[in-house]
Structure 1
Amino acid sequence: MSSLSIATATEVFDLLRDDLAAIESEFAHQSDSPVEVVTDIAQYLIAGGGKRIRPMMLLLSARAVGCESEARIRLGAVVEMLHTATLVHDDIIDEASTRRGRPSSNTTWGNAKCVLAGDWLYMQSFQTALAERNFRILDLLISLTQQMVEGELLQMEKLGHLINEEEYFDLIYRKTACLFKVSMQLGAVIAVPPTTPNAAPFEEALGEYGRNLGLAFQIVDDVLDLTAQDDVLGKPTASDLREGKATLAVIHALERGTGADREAIRTVLADRSFARVAHADILEILQRHESLAYAMDTACAYAEAARQSIADLPESDYKRALLWVPGFVTTRDR
């Protein structure tokens, strides 16, 4: 690992402030449709905020390899549009009533309009990407979209059922880490002319960084779902268990718990509610078997692997920022 120091949060956001503001404007511009309800839903989702971590990853990746092209702004908006489209569809599938502390879009406009608005955002993101006239970009985005849809379908098949760690990591790669990986790869790709015959320098290393960071991000998300307060999380706590999803800490406890422990967890997953077993009882099981700590330790290991992935990247303020992000991901509270 390089001796380069890790940036601070202030330094990172100072580095990216103008680019992130430009991406926000581009996202709003790209979400403007002649059909008013599409624009209304898109603007509502944009106003809901979010961490914008995926466009931030693309910006840092692009800047770390010397990209000055305006493509970084357009593609930053593309990855955020894709992410937003997945959230719209997720809320419909999960029958969610809140998102980031506000009513979810489907509770306001209904499932039918929102699923179509999500489809529109997918297509608009591809329309924007197509303007780059770069087949590698389209190849990455098409493969990404297929994997995200496959991940959602696989998860739906496994709801209410027990899964092992291998199945869990396959799911979270498809649903989350794949988008992190592609965001990083896109940053590398746009730094070289589209006619370049070979892979962009550092594309593989940056993609590996994104994969590891995405896995860490989702594991932490799953732990927070179990432990955070509703008002901090912006949605009901333990939504995953209520939806029949077994996440890493739960899988760990199932493998190590007593017969009574396993039965309690199975009951919640099958019922998709805490009607017969309280949330506090599940937390006690997870804490007794140190399952929450195990999940966080695993997330931290992936975060460190992300840092190691970019050891050979040229030293710069953007590399320092990339070294900061894994710590942000593993210490956040929402």
Structure 2
Amino acid sequence: MSTLALSTAKEVFDLLRDDLRAIERELGRDAVSDVAAITEIADYLREGGGKRIRPSLLLLAAKAQGYEGQGMVKLGAVVEMVHTATLVHDDIIDAADTRRGRPSANTTWGNAKCVLAGDWLYMQAFHIALEERNFRILDLLISLTQQMVEGELLQMETLGRAICETEYFDLIYRKTACLFQVSMRLGSILAGATDEIEDQLGEYGRSLGMAFQIVDDVLDLTASEDMLGKPVASDLREGKATLSVIHSLENGTEADRGAIEKVLLDQSFDRVDHAEILEILNRNGSVEYAMAAAFRCAEAARQGLAALPDNEFKRALLWVPDFVVARDK
């Protein structure tokens, strides 16, 4: 494989298969509590699957720089546990009924138990990370958690109103891209990278995470419920203005703006239906505008890899942005 261009998801995940399996086993061991509800909720969430893109990034960052130790398995489990904890809390905040095509955990166990299970997962992630005995790792994880909580609070303050692109990009950095960034930084720290290389790979993660969330937001508006595994246009129905919507608010007609603002304010499609919003977005070229921004972020991500030695792990990292912008769910 080292002599071939990595071009498919299967090749990349084959490259990481053993380590990802080790991370799954680590998650199974780490998410066990004396309190049955915590173990049940954690098992349910793990069985829901997911792309495991964040631990994969950590593995690729470490391996691309020659690291071969077990720390990357432990920290891969840590970033996945942090991600899972955020999903539990997000579903409670958004009153979501489904996640990845299954009932969300809060519909089965209730909000109170899921809040506490999410808290437990956060603390367990820190407990596992502590085993590395590295203050830089703990500092990154603490700052990450603060950023993500601040992002969620900031988003709650914007619900039901139009926001500008600057606000939007700040939100998606805090909610999504900072965890991609930290995943790349953690892999670099394990590999003993210089501060400069760590910063460059962190920028790769940040740009990739921005592209990932922009595409996620576009799919929320345009994909089918079967594809998404959850109701379509959930963001708009919750009063969240994402990039395509912001573009039409700023570039559409007065009638376009009025229709979108009704949905944001109502947090429902009772007065304006989803099809009408899609027509507005398509007529104004707003979906294409958002996807162009995602492609720019993907290209910026690739630029952050210039200093890495050429190997199959670097080639996998070069391919990941294509996967992120081309996905359909």
Establish whether residue 280 from structure 1 lines up as the match of residue 275 from structure 2.
Answer: yes
Output one character per residue of 1:281-321: Cα deviation in whole Å (capped at 9) or x when no partner: 00000000000000001001100110111112110000000
CA RMSD, aligned part only?
1.1
Amino acid at match of 1:44: Y
What is the match of residue 191 of structure 1? 191
Establish whether residue 315 from structure 1 lines up as the match of residue 295 from structure 2.
Answer: no
Output one character per residue of 1:199-239: Cα deviation in whole Å (capped at 9) or x when no partner: 45621111000000000000000000000000110000000
| In structure 1, C-alpha distance between the alignment counterparts of 2:80 and 2:19, rounded to whole Å | 14
SS at match of 1:261: helix
Gapped runs of 5+ residues in structure 1?
A: 193-197
Establish whether residue 236 from structure 1 lines up as the match of residue 231 from structure 2.
Answer: yes
| In structure 1, C-alpha distance between the alignment counterparts of 2:300 and 2:203, rounded to whole Å | 9
Output one character per residue of 1:258-300: Cα deviation in whole Å (capped at 9) or x when no partner: 1110000000000000000010000000000000000001001
**Correspondence 1:199-210 to 2 at 5 A:** 199-200=194-195, 202-210=197-205
Which residue of 309, 326, 329 corresponds with 1:331? 326
Contact 2:178–2:209 (CA<8 Å) still a contact in 1?
A: yes
Amino acid at match of 2:141: L
Establish whether residue 260 from structure 1 lines up as the match of residue 255 from structure 2.
Answer: yes
Amino acid at match of 1:191: A
What is the match of residue 158 of structure 2? 158
> Is the alpha carbon distance of 1:269 and 1:238 closer, same or farther for their aligned partners in structure 2, counting shifts above 3 Å?
same
| In structure 1, C-alpha distance between the alignment counterparts of 2:14 and 2:37, rounded to whole Å | 35
What is the match of residue 99 of structure 2? 99
Output one character per residue of 1:144-189: Cα deviation in whole Å (capped at 9) or x when no partner: 0000000000000000011000000000000000000000000000
> Is the alpha carbon distance of 1:34 and 1:261 closer, same or farther for their aligned partners in structure 2, counting shifts above 3 Å?
same
| In structure 2, C-alpha distance between the alignment counterparts of 1:201 and 1:255, rounded to whole Å | 38
Contact 1:191–1:200 (CA<8 Å) still a contact in 2?
A: no
Contact 1:7–1:317 (CA<8 Å) still a contact in 2?
A: no
Structure 1 residue 23 displacement after superposition = 0.4
Amino acid at match of 1:32: V
Structure 1 residue 69 displacement after superposition = 1.0
What is the match of residue 174 of structure 1? 174
What is the match of residue 27 of structure 1? 27
Which residue of 285, 291, 298 corresponds with 2:286? 291
What is the match of residue 143 of structure 2? 143
Structure 1 residue 8 displacement after superposition = 3.0
**Correspondence 1:60-79 to 2 at 5 A:** 60-79=60-79
Amino acid at match of 1:294: Y
Which residue of 213, 219, 226 corresponds with 2:221? 226
Contact 2:6–2:12 (CA<8 Å) still a contact in 1?
A: no
Identity of aligned residues (%): 70
| In structure 1, C-alpha distance between the alignment counterparts of 2:233 and 2:81, rounded to whole Å | 27
Gapped runs of 5+ residues in structure 2?
A: none
| In structure 2, C-alpha distance between the alignment counterparts of 1:289 and 1:313, rounded to whole Å | 40
Establish whether residue 10 from structure 1 lines up as the match of residue 7 from structure 2.
Answer: no
The size of the alignment, in residue pairs, is: 326
Amino acid at match of 2:58: L
Answer with 200-209 or 273-282: which moved more.
200-209
| In structure 1, C-alpha distance between the alignment counterparts of 2:328 and 2:5, rounded to whole Å | 24
Amino acid at match of 2:241: A
| In structure 2, C-alpha distance between the alignment counterparts of 1:272 and 1:10, rounded to whole Å | 40
What is the match of residue 207 of structure 2? 212
> Is the alpha carbon distance of 1:246 and 1:222 closer, same or farther for their aligned partners in structure 2, counting shifts above 3 Å?
same
What is the match of residue 90 of structure 2? 90
Establish whether residue 305 from structure 1 lines up as the match of residue 305 from structure 2.
Answer: no
What is the match of residue 54 of structure 2? 54
| In structure 2, C-alpha distance between the alignment counterparts of 1:312 and 1:71, rounded to whole Å | 23
SS at match of 1:61: helix
Contact 2:91–2:106 (CA<8 Å) still a contact in 1?
A: yes
| In structure 1, C-alpha distance between the alignment counterparts of 2:165 and 2:195, rounded to whole Å | 33
| In structure 1, C-alpha distance between the alignment counterparts of 2:127 and 2:153, rounded to whole Å | 25
Q: What TM-score, normalized to structure 2? A: 0.98
| In structure 2, C-alpha distance between the alignment counterparts of 1:10 and 1:116, rounded to whole Å | 36
Amino acid at match of 2:240: K
| In structure 2, C-alpha distance between the alignment counterparts of 1:160 and 1:6, rounded to whole Å | 43
